[in-house]
Amino acid sequence: MKKLILLNLSLVLALLMSRQVSAQLPLSVDATIDFSIAPVTTCEGSVGPCLPVSEYRIYVDDNLLATSSGTAIEVLFHMAIGQEYCFEATAFNGLESARSAPSCYTPTAATPEAPIIISLPIRFS
């Protein structure tokens, strides 16, 4: 019976320690995202002239994040750890294209490398 109580107490302590450790993790991070978009040179259907693309647009979760005249777009973005973000791109030539297939990412915290003990003084009394 004593072992069972001790085991349950150990389990409770382990759970409390894991909650304390996870509470110390940063909840969000700043990131730089380098989008690379394939250039669009054709138009859907052929009912009128195909004007050149003047702008590419990046959306995240249905919100406009960035615009650029080029196909390489660098964006500073604040991300919450554990939250999924889905990015989509469109081309614009006076009319906006359909959105690209979403590209999704969920930031997760990386485990730190193991420390190295550089000193281990031992004193005897």
pTM, two decimals, is 0.70
Count up the domains in the chain and report the number: 1
Host domain of residue 49: 26-105
Report H helices in 1-125.
2-24
* CB-CB contact of 76 with 34 (8 Å): no
The dihedral through the CA atoms of 93, 99, 100, 103 has a sign that is positive
Q: Is residue 43 part of a domain?
A: yes
pLDDT tens per residue, range 18-70: 454 455 656 999 999 999 999 999 998 877 899 999 999 999 989 999 999 99
Q: Is residue 59 part of a domain?
A: yes
Q: Is residue 89 part of a domain?
A: yes
What was the pLDDT predicted at 24? 60
CATH of the domain at 41: 2.60.40
Q: Is residue 61 part of a domain?
A: yes
* Rounded-to-integer distance, Cα 35 and Cα 7, Å: 51
